[in-house]
Chain A
Amino acid sequence: MTSRVPSLILGRLLIALVTLTIVSFAVFFATTLLPGDTATILLGQAATPEAVAGLRTAMHLDEPALLRFIYWIGGLFQGDLGTSYANHVPVATLISGRLANTLKLAGLTTLVSVPLALTLGITAAMWRRTLYDRIVTIATIGVISVPEFVLATLAVLVFAVYLKWLPALSFTYNIDSFSGLLRAYAMPVITLTFGVSAQMIRMTRAAVIETLNTPYVEMALLKGASRPRMVLRHALPNALGPISNAVALSLSYLLGGVIIVETIFNYPGIAKLMVDAVSTRDLPLIQSCAMIFCFGYLILITTADIVAILSNPRLR
């Protein structure tokens, strides 16, 4: 029997590619719907009609939208993201440093939240229907039902206002020393970790419980295996697929989370850049940031799907 895995994965990647095309289409047209002429905005009120007309030709603004879309996509592939309206700096320069900052924040959050969430999720499933499980479940429901900025506000209240351990709202710490680095990142990472972990704990717990309900786990129980052994040796290996799927899906929560967290803590990342770009209506910047976000989101979702395919033994 030949394996169906390669064709399934190929199909999934193809779907991702189609989705990316549709998304880039949406991003481009949503932002070109804007009233107002780009050339006039760029040159300011005092520009002569000739100058505006010249710039319009140079920027291909007088050509059909579909053609401009193709130019734009072509530019993206060559690393040309356009020029920011607000300060006439190439978008690529604006983004590069910010992107690194955001990735640092996301990476740190992943490092903290994955081990934490897996431990809590698996143990909650192991001791299902105990007080411990109840507490974990209620806490995660609480965290999931609350917007990120409320989490951030509470974190500030607890750690900065009452305990006075950490700076409140500004990202002004000297990050050269290790302790400075720790203090500067602590608040944003704590807030993000809460949100990401809550999702991950719920999904991990559900995945483990599902495998615990299978006949072979019951068999392990009947032959007298201890509870930890039953969960860790018999159930967990088979729940690994759904769990890694859960991890990838929960990490996509980061994308929404960073938008709020970077804004509230003044963190110089790409989400803050985008929110600022929205308030100044800086289109090329918004487009590029939106594409980066959608791209990251798609990568995570596709990874989740592929992991799910790979970990299903029936497909091998």
Chain B
Amino acid sequence: MKTHSSTGSLAAWSGYRINLVGLAAFSVVLFWALVALFAPYITPHSVGEMIDLDYFGPMRPGLWLGSDYLGRDMLSRIIYGARYTVGISLAAVSIACFTGVVLGMTSAVLRGPVDMVVSRILDAMNSIPSKLFGLMVVAAVGSSIPVLILTLSVIYVPGAYRFSRALAINIDTMDFIMVARIRGERLPYLIASEILPNIIGPVLADLGLRFVFIVLLLSGLSFLGLGVQPPYADWGALVRENIGGLPFAAPAVIVPSLAIATLTISVNLLIDNLPQKIRDRSAS
């Protein structure tokens, strides 16, 4: 593991120190979150308006990121794209991790047949390649934003389940769980008040990783034309729309690619450099 090279701070907080890389990564993530949140207030032009006579226009004052294949302002489209990419992924990862973690803790506490059946089924789901699963669902029910969110979350439930179950099983063998059991506590209390507080750090780190996977998969699907559908466009769809500009290296195709890369790389770096206290038991 990495050593922490951060500046000195209060001794009480020593386990929560974050290093420079982590801080930089955090600012990038925060930046994109704010952009997504305040999109309507910061777009310089309307998203659908064609304002440039030229298509695949270069970067210049007023059109800071150039124009796309129809002469629309790329900056505005990226800002709105952030909404779809970040929003859909965040919704999906929340559903996936909530379901997976609750199921995982329940399996760990109940053991026996429940654990076996749930584990077997989720393992089988895990052996369908994620992109393929996405393709099949889109083929079956068509692509809309609710369908996308649900599909992406279903795909990543097994992973969250496996991870939290492994952590919860360790906690489950501890004495205080035994005490709680003898006290006659029920399942909801056991998982919510006894186990969850002890695994929350690693679970959150895992949520971040899964967020990256979901952003990648969503962008991939959109890039194939099977994700977010026009007139809406996330970053993956923006790359797809403007792929025609690739031979002349138009900013319209490079900038959305970079946007995805900055977001996913910084989330990864942020998790890698999280304060030791938080990532304590998290598996690599």
A contact residues vs B (CB 8 Å cutoff): 15, 18-19, 22-23, 26-27, 30-31, 33-34, 141-142, 144-150, 153-154, 156-157, 160-162, 168-169, 206, 252, 255-256, 259-260, 263-264, 274-275, 277-279, 281, 283, 286, 290, 293-294, 297-298, 301
Contacts and interface: CB of A to CB of B under 8 A. Distances in A.
A150 B257 contact: yes
A146 B261 contact: yes
B129 A168 contact: no
B33 to A, nearest CB: 17
Given A22-B124, A160-B247, A256-B131, A281 B139 contact: yes
A153 B254 contact: yes
Nearest to B121: A22
Given A146-B261, A263-B223, 20 more contacts: A23-B124, A33-B141, A141-B269, A144-B268, A147-B216, A148-B220, A156-B246, A157-B249, A161-B247, A162-B249, A169-B243, A255-B131, A275-B135, A286-B135, A290-B132, A290-B135, A290-B136, A294-B127, A297-B127, A297-B129
A278 B135 contact: yes
Contacts of B236: 147, 149
Interface residues on B, range: 35 or more
B129 A255 contact: yes
A294 B136 contact: no
Given A31-B140, A145-B265, A161-B248, A153 B253 contact: yes
Contacts of A283: 139
Interface string B240-284: 000100111100011001001100110111001000000000001
B223 A18 contact: no
Main secondary structure of the interface of A (DSSP, over half): helix
Q: Is chain B's binding surface mostly helix, strand, loop or mixed?
A: helix
B60 interface: no
Interface in B94-153: 120-121, 123-125, 127-132, 135-141
Nearest to A150: B257
Contact of B127 (A19, A161, A260): A19
A168 B120 CA distance: 44
A33 B219 contact: no
